[in-house]
Amino acid sequence: MTRGTIDKIAGPLVVADGMKDARMYDLVYVSDYKLIGEIIELKGEKASIQVYEETGGLKPGDPVEATGKPLSVELGPGLVTAIYDGIQRPLDEIRKEAGDWITRGIGIRGLDHAKEWDFIPVAAVGLNVTGGEVLGEVPETNIITHRIMVPPEVSGEIVWMSEAGKFNIDTIIAKLKISDGSILELPMYHNWPVRKPRPIAEKKAPEEPLITGQRVIDAFFPLGKGGTACVPGPFGSGKTVIQHQLAKWADAEMVIYVGCGERGNEMTDVLQEFPELEDPKSGEPLINRTVLVANTSNMPVAAREASVYTGITIGEYFRDMGYSVALMADSTSRWAEAMREMSGRLEEMPGEEGYPAYLGTRIAEFYERAGNVKCRGGDRNGALTVVGAVSPAGGDLSDPVVQATLRVVKVFWSLQAKLAYARHFPAIGWLDSYSLYTDNLKEYYDKALGPEWVPMVKEAISLLQREANLLEIARLVGAESLSPEDQLILFTARSLREDFLHQNAFHEVDTYTSIVKQKLMMEVIMHTNAEMRKAIRGSVSPGDLFELPLKEEIARMSYIPEDHLDDIEAIKEHVNSQINDLIEKEQTA
């Protein structure tokens, strides 16, 4: 171990002298408090350390000890349902030991090494295995089966394999004879550096959508499993609610929620809600497939960077088991602000708006760790989907963090203050947002929903775009002065906005809409549009059409439960009969 002494302290930055044998990104313990830090710059014998805990009370001359190992997380049974801080310390264990406030220098390991798990062997003696091969399984929760894998950079022949039994994670469950002839003992867990992406066999383009139950996302701007998305928006536009909705309802098998620098009350909502919410697929508590990383705004600023990497490393681990994983990072702007603060204290040359010049590189490296992949060591496919919220000051989309993020992600959900102020939620702007996965996912949609779905969605988006152009004219001359066809466009676009895109996150039925129900709802609106167009061409007055009772039935569609979808189908028949009755009335008049 390399030992030095503190030379200078500047907030979360500590400069230590006598560290000539230390390496970049080594984990260090600072002072007698044993504060956890990480080396981020080396100049001669001086090492600049970002400390992940409060540095008040430190003084020059205090000892610094480099471990020679990078900041790593423990990966093994016990991750699911856990609530961690930014450096993988379990918050519930900290509370037992230190009370409601995190005590400095508290050292609790990420996994419970005493708890025993039911281990079921899968591999056999004599088998040559490489990194990623499954040695055994542990039923961690009723939803998640934890696959005990050979660590990524290990390979060899199994010379001994444990029988099934109840063991703690330190128990040796396999012995490998590696290339140099020595025997390597493998316990049920391993460590992995958070800054190092876990290796994969192959990365593929996303082939199926991550169904979120949010209509504006699934229908208009879908996100592929293994894809990346950015949710920028001003204060109060609903970024956190959207992140919560995705974490609750996305059809990923594992959810990693990283609260990076967010307000404590928002994280409290998540921590209280998740154990009570029911997973729509299994009926189990949602927490049984969730890992939470809570790093709130009142925690040390440097730990924000660690929390983002901790979350994505845990996500990669479950992806390697063959699971579909969704990671929500709320918000990457707070992470960027932490980088800016550390860069300023290092006296680096600032880039745009004071952010470091490497901001874009760090953001790109983070999102590049997402992907739809073929896992190493077996015939398994996994997906890690990353959704990052961005909080630009004043909602300014020219903010460097937003721009750096948009350069690397494939989906942009533009949250708009004017929609939020108009009480339209989710406040995702349909004219500014985009998804670059639509073409990739067309084959999936054609099989799952039929070939009519994609053209129907394109027609709906086209109507909303035409509405935006017509509204300006309507404000000047009045909607009644427009042609009957244009009046119909305004009527249908309003129905799309209010009856389809608007969704109540706090209503027990409307909070989640299956993709099948979304198709039925869209069909009713577009079918109504087509039938009304025929009626208008048959000289029926637009005003009479727009006053038909069908308007109320369409407005109530979103509150029809999933087990009563025939009621939505029936609305089509009501539309036909009401419009036909009106046509007959006009003809006999």
How many H-runs (helices) and E-runs (strands) does the chain carry? 16, 26
Q: How far apart are CA 511 and CA 515, in angstroms?
A: 13
ω into residue 331 within 30 of 0, thus cis?
Answer: yes
The answer to whether residue 106 sits within a structural domain is no
Ranges assigned E (strand) in 187-305:
190-193, 202-204, 228-232, 254-262, 290-296
- What pLDDT score does 589 carry? 62
Same domain (yes/no): 218, 180: no
Among residues 410, 438, 466, which one ends one of the domains?
438
Q: How far is CA 30 from CA 8, 233, 360, in A?
A: 12, 38, 30
Same domain (yes/no): 214, 182: no
Unique residue bearing structure tokens 């569609």: 557
Cα of 204 vs its chain's centroid, Å:
19
- What pLDDT score does 481 carry? 86
What's the per-residue H, E or C state across 151-187?
CCCCCEEEEEECCCEEECCCCCCEEEECCCCCEEEEC
460 in helix, strand or coil? helix
The answer to whether residue 498 sits within a structural domain is yes
- What pLDDT score does 396 carry? 84
Cβ contact 423:267 at 8 Å: no
Q: Looking at this protein, which amino acid is placed at residue 5?
A: T
The answer to whether residue 261 sits within a structural domain is yes
Cβ contact 12:341 at 8 Å: yes
Q: Classify residue 202 as left (phi > 0), alpha (psi -120 to 50) or beta.
A: beta
Q: How many domains does the chain have?
A: 4
Same domain (yes/no): 307, 433: yes
Same domain (yes/no): 388, 251: yes
Ranges assigned E (strand) in 407-462:
411-412, 434-435
Cβ contact 100:91 at 8 Å: no
Ranges assigned E (strand) in 365-509:
371-374, 381-390, 411-412, 434-435
The answer to whether residue 93 sits within a structural domain is no
Cβ contact 31:63 at 8 Å: yes
pLDDT tens profile 468-484 = 999 888 888 888 889 99
- What pLDDT score does 522 carry? 97
- CATH number, domain with residue 536: 1.10.1140.10
The CA-based angle 60-61-64, given to 5 degrees, is 105
Same domain (yes/no): 396, 476: no
Cβ contact 291:254 at 8 Å: yes
For 172, the domain range is 115-191
Return the exposure string of 225-245: e unless at least 16 CB atoms fall within 10 Å of the residue's CB, then b.
Answer: bbbbbbbbbbeebbbbbbbbb
Same domain (yes/no): 332, 423: yes
Q: How far apart are CA 512 and CA 517, in angstroms?
A: 10
The answer to whether residue 326 sits within a structural domain is yes
Q: How far is CA 536 from CA 540, 545, 576, in A?
A: 5, 9, 14
Same domain (yes/no): 461, 545: yes
Same domain (yes/no): 458, 584: yes
Among residues 160, 191, 222, which one ends one of the domains?
191
Same domain (yes/no): 557, 496: yes
Query: For the chain, what is the radius of gyration of the CA atoms?
Result: 28
- CATH number, domain with residue 213: 3.40.50.300
- CATH number, domain with residue 159: 2.40.50.100
Same domain (yes/no): 291, 392: yes
Same domain (yes/no): 287, 158: no
Residues of the chain with pLDDT under 70: 589
The answer to whether residue 544 sits within a structural domain is yes
Same domain (yes/no): 493, 394: no
The answer to whether residue 580 sits within a structural domain is yes
The answer to whether residue 107 sits within a structural domain is no
Among residues 438, 472, 504, which one ends one of the domains?
438
